Chains A and B, each alone.
Chain A
């Protein structure tokens, strides 16, 4: 069997999600040990331009399943998993890489069961060592790090977004192959997309995250955080206390029972730093804490802390950034 690596690229609104280009970096790292070609598979509708972008990511080939029935707004896990499994059978890779997004985790699990393959979820590193696929995977929400081995190949891996740098899609274009879509009997499907994602950048993919906790005191309290996020081009997250109070949507919750984020910069405002919150953000590259209690546990993980009232510090920070950005 060839030692090829297949990347399953997710798209949103006709463009590949950033994690797809990060997966190319992972694949290149694996290919150093494995040899083999790097190929990409994308499924959805109206994928012509997404396919072109992926074809220029320095890969050997792009397979595309392009059909109105595969549009994200009509998501049907049985169909998507079946189409994916067909593509994997045809491409015969040794390793399949997914982004560990909500959808990526879901379809990889169903396809893995269909093909009876092993799957390691939400990895932060993937290497090919002494003939074996070795993965690094945070467990217990990051309180421990597991080193995991696939005893045999083929196997599937989902990789946490924002860990690896994305490749630039500026290589000469690889061939794009349109694959036939075989319909299956579907019982569960999206009837209606109730709410579109607010931003193109998902919280888990954002470079900078500004989060608010109980200290913001109410839905209006998030306004200065949004203003700061706007200047920084950041996504806005929250602690569970803020979510439970109904100030913001659950989709913004960071932590053990929310999203795991690892941005370049995480700014925690009015968040105490409970162990379940830390679990979701302590792999951020830089952490800033703004909290009026100098003994708050969040300061133990912060690289930079300001012990003060967030309603004074956050606007001051926004102003200072505006000044600095204008100078640039």
Chain B
């Protein structure tokens, strides 16, 4: 396999409702990415793009409809389609296009426009539940997260205040991200006292619905070295699926992620991720998920994550900053684009280009992760400089 690097990155602002269409959002992110490394579409050999559920847009076979926004015209183009895991999965997907030797460059573009779905995008998640044994109970998407969060908290004796610490950390980091849809800092009290939606989930435990897109350009080693003196290498990728019978799993531990993380670390030759990784971008649609995922990523011992968080281990100046981008809680959560935004963050952080929110100490190795569907799919990318 050939070495593959990220050589460019770009994104749109994440906003509650965007003027741009999904195609236009994709174009903005992709074009900015190409501009960032001085390339044009002619230099792109293939396209890996992602947008999560067709139902948000109400357009059947949305991927093909969207493709030209991602630069897919007259090129080998493939869509990745694994819900929330899409944004990082698309990087893995683009990686093997190039690593295989088939293509020298791959433009990876992920987009989501959630605001078109009326009255609220949440309603369209109902159809992920089992159509016969679960949907007749009229479930709602929040249930599944509330059930998982409650089990996780119960298992280790964590409190709502403990979980809120992750929201506070990520939202604080996100205020320094130029694409963030937020302007206000929050405190633990703000989170805990925000509207109770589905115990134990309060409103500020949750990332917002957003519109947006993000992209990276991948290149094979010789091309990457020609384009930049600071390629950010894709050191490892991993992805796995767990069973869709989610209620029969141990909800306190993300097994779906354990294997994906080990796959990526093995490829990267990482034996002690908790010591070797400098920056972590765990997927954080909910505050508890950031912590749950740090455990699945083998970056924190099970049940010790809150202790480490309180000790500052995951702070910007700690040993392993968590979500320096701000994550989904601090930047926004346009589903597929959110995971790619995390890969963009590794790109900027490892090159020392993150400006005000630059992690100190010249970080050299980072991991980004995304997760989706019935708490089922996880995708992981390890990047290094």
A, B assembled together: no
B residues near A (Cβ < 8 Å) are none
